[in-house]
Each structure stands twice: as C-alpha cells, then as structure tokens.
Structure 1
Amino acid sequence: MGSVPVPENVSVSDPSSTARFARRTLFKGSAAAATATAVLGGGDAEAATPVFRHGVASGDPLADGVIVWTRVTVSDDATPGSGLGDPATVRWEIAADERFASVAASGAVTTSADSDHTVKVDVSGLAPGVEYFYRFTALGQTSPVGRTKTAPATADTPDRLRFGVVSCSNWEAGYFGAYRHLTARTDLDAIVHLGDYIYEYGRGKYGGRNGAVRPHDPANETVSLTDYRIRHAQYKTDPDLLGLHATLPFICTWDDHESADNSWSGGANNHDPATEGSWADRRAASAQAYLEWMPVRASGSGADVRIYRRLRFGTLAELTMLDLRSYRDQEAKPGANWREADDPARTITGKAQMEWLTAGLASAPVRWKLVGNSVMIAPLVFPPLEPATTAAITSTMGVPQSGPSLNGDQWDGYTADRTRLFRAIIDQQISDVLFLTGDIHSSWAADLPVDVASYPGGVTAGAEFVVPSVTSTSIGDMVHTNSAPIAEAIKTVNRHLRYVELDSHGYGVLEITPDHAQMDWYYLLDVADPNSDVRYGASFAVRSGGRIEPRQVPLG
C-alpha cells in the first residue's frame, strides 16, 4: 500500500509514556530483548497498545528508502481475518533521532478490512546508511517505536555488513528464542529470513520433539484467506518476534509452509483438491496474506505477483532473493523415475527468473554476490544408514528410504537448472557467489563444485551456508540421539561439505567484508524453554576468490 502524502512534515501529538519508554530504552545493548518483550506485548496490556497489538516492522532496505509496517485493531471485533471494522486513517513518521525532533518523512494512509487493516508504506527520499526510527498513530494511540536502517549508498564500500540469518520458525514446535538473542545483538544491519516464517498445518499436526509446545490458531489447517491472516497475526504476537521486527529490517522470501508443504507451481504434497479446493485459490490466498502481513517489496499483482528481487549494499554486496516455489515443476519422485531430476525441460526457478538471476549475477558491480536461496543447492548424496536414521532423514529432508538418492525438493531434484546456473557462473567468471539457505532444519557449509566427483579438484561455482531451523523438527529430534556420526558419514561421501550439524535449532550471523564472508552458527539449548540460553556452535568462512575454511572463533 502506498502512502498518502501530506504537504509538510506535520508532527503528531506527543506519544504516550509507553512509547516514550520504548524510544528511550528499546535499543540499549543486551537489555534490548527484555525491553522489547515488555513494550511490544509481553504481558502488559497497557504497554501492548491495543490499537497496535501486532507491533511494528520494517523491511527491504534501500539506499534511499525502506518499507515500514503495522496493523491497527480498529475495534474489539475487528480481529485478523474477520473482515470486520471500519476504515481508519493511520499517520506515520520516520526520523533520524528517537525523539522525532527532526522528522525526515511523514504521511498518512487509509487502511480497511480489504487489507486486513494492515499498513505497509514504502518510504523514499531517505539518506543512505542511516539509522532511522519510525512510529504510527491512529485512533488516538501511538505505536511502539521501531528502529530500521537504510542500505549504504551505491558508490560506498562499507568496511563490513552483518546479517542475522534465520529460517523455519514453527510456532507449535517451540519458542522463538533465536529471535530474542538476535534482538540483543548491537552489530547487525538486517535480518535475512529464508522462508517458512509461518507453518500451515492444523493444531497438533506438525509439532516438534516436545509435541505441540503451544497451539496454532486457527485450529484447522490454513486454506482460506481468513485462515492465513489469522495464522500470520498469531505469529506477530510472539514477543521475541515482535522485538526483532521492531529492532531491525527484515529481508524475506517465502518457502513452502507459507502456503503448503512441498508446494510447486501446480499444487503441493499437503494439498488435497477434493477437500481443500483449487490450489490456485489457496496459493493466491496465502500470497495475499503474506504480502499484507510482511514488510516485503513485491512487484506485479494477483497471479503475476513477483517477490524475487535484489537489494544493493554499496559496492560490497548485492543480495538476490529467490522465489523457488511459484514457478517450479513438481518434484521428481524417488524410485524408478527419480532420474526425471535430470530432465533439461524441468525447472525450479522458471525460465524468466533463471535469466534474471544469471544476468544479475554477471552484471552486479559488487564484490560479493549473495543469493537468498530457500532450498539447498549443494549436491547431496547419502551413505547407507541404519533404518531409523534413514526414516528420520526421509521425513525431514525428502530422501527416499530405498537407498542413496537425491532430495527431490531441493536443487538436487532440478539438476539441469543447477547446471545452467553453475555453468553461467563459471563461464562468465563471476566470482564470490555465496548462497544463503534454510529449509532443511540443520546446518551446513559447502563448496559448490561443478563436478562433485572431482572435488577438491576442478572448479567451484561458489559456496553455500545453510542455517538451522528456529524451532522446526531436526533430524536429531527425530532419532532422539546425537547425530554427529551421521553428519560425519555424510561428509565422508560428500567431500565438498565442510560442516554438517543435524541436531540443533538456532540461527546464523553472517559477516561480509571485502576480504571474506564468515558465518557463525548459534544454537538454542532448549526450544521448549521460552527463556533458553544460546551456545556458540561453529564458524566457517570463504575468502574472496577462495573456498570454505573453518574459523576458530566467532565474530567479535
């Protein structure tokens, strides 16, 4: 939704004492997470500001702009997905100081039940590389204050960038402690969310090792627009997610669970047309709710909406966010016909997105070409494993129990597209390509050889860092044991895999400098504990022009 401009930067009335408290204390180092919980809905009804009970968020930072987001509750019965409630005018402001003494931009928008009373403003005309504060006012109340940051100017080369990297946050499987620990950091520029921001399953149908730690709303599986709106709204009541959204801009793409498990262009494994209606209708409903509730910049509309896009960070990096669900063919099934994966007519990106991707990588005037990639691109061959472990891997990663094979839901199921991409990178001598991946509820660091059999000889197309799930079930959860021996067996067969950890939940912190890109992995001690501490896991880096190597210490 665009903004409705006003003639000048008119100040709104003084905010409540709660909002002043938020501005004064929300971003004070290690206290940030606790403060965000208190201010943004951690049990204090007054602090939660009833009109803005779903918090504030920002996303997709540019050198001169950023998206800011909120949702207004215009009346008690105007709950998410209800279709009820009158239209409301919402003012917004953004300033370079948390007291809003000098407002950089402001305006007003009208929201209604047509957009589920969400507000999404793509603010422009801002200065590059600046920390900004923003807030909304409606119905006599002022929202909590959010903090965001614009990207560096296109001609600038920052000394470094740091991103929190996350994926796969299942409400029922545990608490979002990963978000709380990222909120407490003071060294991040943005959060990259690689998909499965929500989960579509009905209550109790897709929990974790501890069962359904907290129940989903609605109780049924999300199929209709109303269902998806309610589910998104529930996730945005989580205090840890609220705090992180209010602290840093998000850069997101969707994977499958934002619509339905193992989705593709014409359907999904978890969609039954006989009982759940048209896939096109369900897919459209899920996309509409996602774009209403997420601070994501999209182009096009309706069936032609497009979320694959690029974000530039000076001359240091460009982040390409892919959409690997909307255009893909149905995955190749394991068994007799699994070689369908090699069919050159099959695609995971779609022709237009592949051409856009390869052309963009070739022309990017930056050192690091980062690719936000929802499913693993590194080739993966599994060694023979004992039955219980194979069954766990089958369930979480799609590997057939009949024996070593590909995961048809990953790039392994679309080998012709992967070869096209890798060959374009090699043939056009595109250097320093790094894929950032989620989806498989585990942690990996991989070089990307064009010919796996020749590794470590031969050429590589780049590297890949895969982050674990925030909460969603890991292989370790399913086998109820330490799976380190499994990880070592996988690395033995796949020599290009430099790090594999299959047990833990958590997040990554990625640092980009002119010299190197380093990922640190952090793991929650217990996702069933809302106050869980975090432990450092490992660090791996790839030098500019080089290959992945282990690092001994995390980023300082």
Structure 2
Amino acid sequence: MPTPRSTAMTITSRREFIIRIGSASAALASGPLLSACGGGSDESDTLPVRFDYGVASGDPLADRVILWTHAKHGDFDAPSQAILLDWEVAEDAAFSQVVARGQVTAEPAAGHTAKVDATGLRAGTDYYYRFVAGTSISPVGRTRTLPAADVENVKLAVFSCANYPAGYFHVYTEAVRQGAQYAIHLGDYIYEYAADGYASGDAQALGRVVQPTHEILTLDDYRRRYAQYRSDPDLKQLHASMPMIAVWDDHEISNNTWREGAENHTEGAESRFVDRLAAALQAYHEWLPIRTAASGDHKEIWRSFDFGNLLSLHMLDTRIAAREKQISLAELASPQTATQALARLASPQRTLLGHVQQQWLAQQLAASQARWQVLGQQVLMARMQVPVSILRHLNPESLDPAALPAAMQAIEAYLRARAIAAQAPQMLTDEQRALLDPTTNPKLGYNLDAWDGYPAAREAVLQTAHQLGKPLLVLAGDTHNAWHSDLTLMDGTKVGEEFATSSVSSPGFEEYLHMFAPAQLQALFVDLIDDLQYLNAHQRGLLLMDFTHRTATGHWIFVDTVKSRSYAAVRGHSAAFIEPAP
C-alpha cells in the first residue's frame, strides 16, 4: 500500500532526473527511508555492499517490469556470499510513495546479479526504483510500464553494435537527451574479441582496452566482459533512465554465429561451441534486464510487447534458434562450389527463424489489433542486391584495394548501360544488354549473413504479413551503417519498410571503403540497389522512432565523434512510413 504523499523532491522530466539523481541518492542514503526497508541479511547489515554496475530495468509490460542490479561485498574479484536485497518501486524519487516492494538475492551462482519482476504496477506510468542492503543503497533508476488501451505517441531509441575499444558510448547518453521513453537494443551489446582484435587500434589511447584481454570463451570471461561494459558511464546512464527491450546478435557469442557454430570459433581449440554458447547465454541473461522464458530455456528469446493500441513490437532471434550456416560469396564465385551453393541459397527449406518461431510470429501478427506491426531483429531484411558484374570486384567479405579500379569500371559500365536503356534502348550494345540481363548478370545480396542469405525465410515472413493485410515496419542493426529501405515480395509488391540503425561505436563502411567520399559511396548504393532509399555509411548514431496513429517516423541521429570525451549530436535523415489506416 502506498505511503502518504510527501512534498519532498519533485522531478518533472527525464533530463532533470538524470542531473539530480546523484545528489538524490546521496541524500537518501542517510535519510529516514531505512525504516521502511526490510534491512536485508545479517551480512548485509555488517558489511558494506557495492552496486558498482548501477541498476537497470527492462521487458516492461502494462503491469510489470524487470528490475536488475549487481551486488557484492567488494569489487568484481572480491569473495562474497549471497546478499539479500530489499527492492522498492515508488512514484517519486524520494520514495515517499512506495507502490511495490519485496526481496531478492544476489547469488554467486548468478554472478552476483539480481533480477526481479516487479508486478502490480499501473500502465503507462513512470516509476523510480532502488535496491537496499542494510545501510547500502543502490543508485536510483527510473523506469516506465507499457501503455494500455488508447495511446497517441510512443518514442523508441534503437541501438546496435557497441564496441568498447572502438570508442565512447555517447550514443547512449544522446538517447536520454532526446527524450526517448524506451530503449530497444538489437544486439552486439558486447563484443567477444581479444585486446588486439577488431576495432581496437585506439583502445590504449582511449583507456578502453578490453578485459579480459583474451577472446572470451568461458562463463567467467563473458561475465568479466559484461562487467567492463556495464562500468561505462554512458551505458549506466541509459539503463538508469529508461527500460530496455533487448535481443542478442552474434557478438554476444561469437562473430557470425549460427545454430551450431560461428565464423569466429574453432571447435576443439576454443572448447566446444555448445559449451561456449551456454556460457554466453547464461551471462547474457544474468547481465541484461530480460524476462527469461517460463520454460527456463535461455535460447527462447523471441517475445512480443504491446504498446496499447498503437504498436506491437515482436522481438526475434535470427541467430541461434534455427539459423542454417551462412553461404559465402566465395562459395558462389567458385566453379567448384557455385552450383551447390546456389541450390542451398534458393532452397525453400532454408531457415533463419525456424518453424516454431515463425509460427509464433504468424500468431502474434494475426492476433494483434495495434496500428503498427514492428519487428525488432538483428540483420537487414531488405533486398540489398548488387549485379554480379560489380560484386565480383567489390566483395565485402575480402576487400582488396587493388581491385577498386576494376570495381569502379564495373559500376560505371552498369550505370551507363542502365541509363542508355532508359533513354535510347536501341543504342545498347550486346555487351550492355548482357549487363542488364538478369540471366547473364544476376543480382545477389552483398551480405549473405543477412536475410539476403535466406530468401525463402524472408518471403515467408513478408507473405504472412501481406496476407493478413498488415504492413510491416522492420527495425534492424548489425551493419554499423544507417539504412532506410522498402520491403518487397519477390514479385516486387511493397509490404513494408525497414529502418536500420547505425552503430553505437563500431566502425562502418568508412573504415573499409575509405577511398570513396561518404556522399559518393552513399549515392552509389542508393543508385545500385532498387529498394534502398537512404544510407549513411560513415557516422555512429541511433535511430529514434516516433510512432503516432498516422505515421511512424524514423530520425537518424548521429554523433560527430566517439574518439573524444566530448561530442556534438548531428540530426541526420528523417523518414515517415505512412500507410492508410485499416
């Protein structure tokens, strides 16, 4: 039952909350609130408890939300027993209006993390929460339940690909400044590489060398890497400011993960993949404020969230549930393997989601009465297809600077032939006709780790939505670049749009195709790829999605640097998805 209303501290905005939260927590530590708490265990009463990694909330529903913290006597390596924590949820930051409370234990078996599903809350309401152990009090977090029934507007901040050694996580702070209500993380929340691995060239200078310094393989390794990421002040601020809905991509496990392995895993030399996967998923569920499936199966991460009558968000797993092994462009290019690779690529049985998840998604789409149907998932769904005459010179799997002159010639030849065909087709040479003929110069997806590598699976999802009369809005990450594309069936029918976010810190195409000016590269992609409307291939940022009943608008917001402690935000492209109301 709530305690009597007080005139203590009133905070009217998220931004003000962030500014004042530090001083509020300090004041509360010596205030009268302790009489309202259970007091924790005997050990908690006698030894100070540290909440080094802050607090977090996630997986909000209309009446509940997951609350998270990490609690220990000492730092990460210090020995510590289980710690009994009191938790509280209040309508105000002074905790004079407590609406829910209980106890939860930070267990060594869970890496000293603690999660609780705080229930009995009101829909569409902001709440404050904290954990208490004796006289030790966690930082205060702010969370929000999902709205129910009629809702006019929802604002989501969409993230992907946060590489600790690559730069600072300014993008997380910017989401708070932009007034986002909910954080959507589409994966690569951490990376698995060693200290000399991917995008680590500036790590020493930035003071961001990864821990442990070797590639992470064991449960202890993954826990340590999460602890380092969660010590980041920008990420702490994000988690303390709004609830997060998250799914993994590949780097929470290993690069280009599929259901039985990964590109960056050597079976035997790096343990068994099944053991590595189990360790990675256990650490993920320990450190993320995610509601574990009722079955207890850590792999079962797909789930839906209803934001009243405005939108239904369906979070998918395109990595480990059922994904078949990726086909490489090298396999398609080799005379020895091309026939078999093409047959695998075109197979109607080739799966990405798997039957169980696909049936679940179809049921969710059919049952939802919300205005917008949104898929939150990892990899690009739109058709990113490039003529083979170009792709053979510009293979993103193995970029060779020496091949760039030939690539530019191939691009110019194709675009010239296409221009002549549009204006004076009778002037085409036989060679140019061959360039435009899909039987002699077919288009292939440049990234076969994405849905382009699983065309039958993509068609099944899009056809399901189309047959239900429900246009899809798909959110994606993974590529470190920002994209806006149409979603089309194999026959060209438009059935939705895809909004893909850039990365938090991982480098994009600018690192691999730096010989192109950004504007030149972006114009080339838009010109070559039929369904592509927009590309930013050189800036880090987030996608701010603003939903109303009339439009779903994506605002791509970038930061000018991740290599300096100070930054400036840059408003990039905006695009509105407008469909007739049903």
Task: Report TM bin, short chain.
Answer: 0.7 to 0.9
Is it true that 1:506 corresponds to 2:541 in the alignment?
Answer: yes
Is it true that 1:89 corresponds to 2:84 in the alignment?
Answer: yes
Secondary structure in 1 matching 2:362: helix
Q: How does 1:205-354 map to 2 (within 5 A)?
A: 205-207=197-199, 210=202, 213=206, 214-300=208-294, 305-326=299-320, 327-334=322-329, 335=332, 336=338, 337-339=340-342, 340-354=344-358
Q: How does 1:420-499 map to 2 (within 5 A)?
A: 420-431=460-471, 433-451=472-490, 454=492, 459-480=493-514, 481-499=516-534
Q: Report the Cα offset of residue 9 of structure 1.
A: 7.6
Secondary structure in 2 matching 1:284: helix
Q: Report the Cα offset of residue 102 of structure 1.
A: 1.7
Partners of 1:328 and 1:65 lie apart in 2 by 32
Partners of 1:59 and 1:493 lie apart in 2 by 40
Cα 1:70/1:211, change in 2 over 3 Å: closer
Q: Report the Cα offset of residue 281 of structure 1.
A: 0.6
How many percent of aligned residue pairs carry the same amino acid? Answer: 34
Q: How does 1:18-417 map to 2 (within 5 A)?
A: 30=15, 51-76=50-75, 78-79=76-77, 84-153=79-148, 156-186=149-179, 188-207=180-199, 210=202, 213=206, 214-300=208-294, 305-326=299-320, 327-334=322-329, 335=332, 336=338, 337-339=340-342, 340-382=344-386, 390=394, 405-406=444-445, 407-417=447-457
Partners of 1:289 and 1:496 lie apart in 2 by 38
Contact 2:156 2:181 in 1 (8 A): yes
Contact 2:486 2:497 in 1 (8 A): yes
Q: Report the Cα offset of residue 293 of structure 1.
A: 0.4
Secondary structure in 2 matching 1:132: strand
Q: TM-score, normalised by structure 2?
A: 0.81
Contact 1:389 1:479 in 2 (8 A): no
Partners of 1:463 and 1:68 lie apart in 2 by 33
Q: Report the Cα offset of residue 217 of structure 1.
A: 0.6
Q: Report the Cα offset of residue 451 of structure 1.
A: 3.1
Q: Deviations for 1:174-223, whole angstroms, at most 9, x for unmatched residues?
A: 0000011112233x220001100000111120116746642001111110
Contact 1:63 1:128 in 2 (8 A): yes
Contact 1:40 1:53 in 2 (8 A): no
Aligned to 1:418: 458
Cα 1:35/1:274, change in 2 over 3 Å: farther
Secondary structure in 1 matching 2:394: helix
Aligned to 1:550: none
Secondary structure in 1 matching 2:386: coil
Greater C-alpha Rg: 2
Q: CA RMSD in A?
A: 2.8
Aligned to 1:4: none
Residue type of the alignment partner of 1:520: H
Q: Deviations for 1:415-463, whole angstroms, at most 9, x for unmatched residues?
A: 11111111112222223x10011000001111111136x4xxxx21211
Residue type of the alignment partner of 1:114: A
Contact 2:551 2:576 in 1 (8 A): yes
Partners of 2:200 and 2:390 lie apart in 1 by 22
Secondary structure in 2 matching 1:521: strand
Contact 2:63 2:123 in 1 (8 A): yes
Q: Deviations for 1:303-353, whole angstroms, at most 9, x for unmatched residues?
A: 564110001110111100001111211112222244222211211101100
In terms of mean alpha carbon deviation, does 377-386 or 99-108 score higher?
377-386
Contact 2:25 2:140 in 1 (8 A): no
Is it true that 1:535 corresponds to 2:529 in the alignment?
Answer: no
Contact 1:514 1:544 in 2 (8 A): no
Cα 1:152/1:137, change in 2 over 3 Å: same
Q: Report the Cα offset of residue 528 of structure 1.
A: 0.7
Partners of 1:362 and 1:501 lie apart in 2 by 34
Partners of 2:527 and 2:121 lie apart in 1 by 50
Partners of 1:10 and 1:158 lie apart in 2 by 29
Residue type of the alignment partner of 2:363: A
Residue type of the alignment partner of 2:536: E
Cα 1:140/1:523, change in 2 over 3 Å: same
Higher helix share: 2
Partners of 1:413 and 1:479 lie apart in 2 by 22
Partners of 2:82 and 2:538 lie apart in 1 by 47
Partners of 1:62 and 1:426 lie apart in 2 by 27
Contact 1:56 1:242 in 2 (8 A): yes
Partners of 2:398 and 2:93 lie apart in 1 by 50
Contact 2:316 2:376 in 1 (8 A): yes
Cα 1:394/1:527, change in 2 over 3 Å: farther
Q: Report the Cα offset of residue 390 of structure 1.
A: 3.0
Q: Report the Cα offset of residue 530 of structure 1.
A: 2.0
Q: Report the Cα offset of residue 508 of structure 1.
A: 1.0
Aligned to 2:418: none
Residue type of the alignment partner of 1:69: W
In terms of mean alpha carbon deviation, does 308-317 or 324-333 score higher?
324-333
The equivalent position to 2:553 in structure 1, one of 502, 506, 518, is 518
Q: Report the Cα offset of residue 31 of structure 1.
A: 6.0
Unaligned runs of 5+ in 2: 27-47, 333-337, 401-405, 411-442
Aligned residues: 504
Partners of 1:34 and 1:130 lie apart in 2 by 21
In terms of mean alpha carbon deviation, does 488-497 or 59-68 score higher?
488-497
Partners of 1:134 and 1:166 lie apart in 2 by 24
Contact 1:381 1:490 in 2 (8 A): no
Secondary structure in 1 matching 2:499: strand
In terms of mean alpha carbon deviation, does 330-339 or 165-174 score higher?
330-339
Secondary structure in 1 matching 2:463: helix
Cα 1:33/1:395, change in 2 over 3 Å: farther
Residue type of the alignment partner of 1:349: L
Contact 1:446 1:498 in 2 (8 A): yes
Q: TM-score, normalised by structure 1?
A: 0.85
Cα 1:56/1:152, change in 2 over 3 Å: same
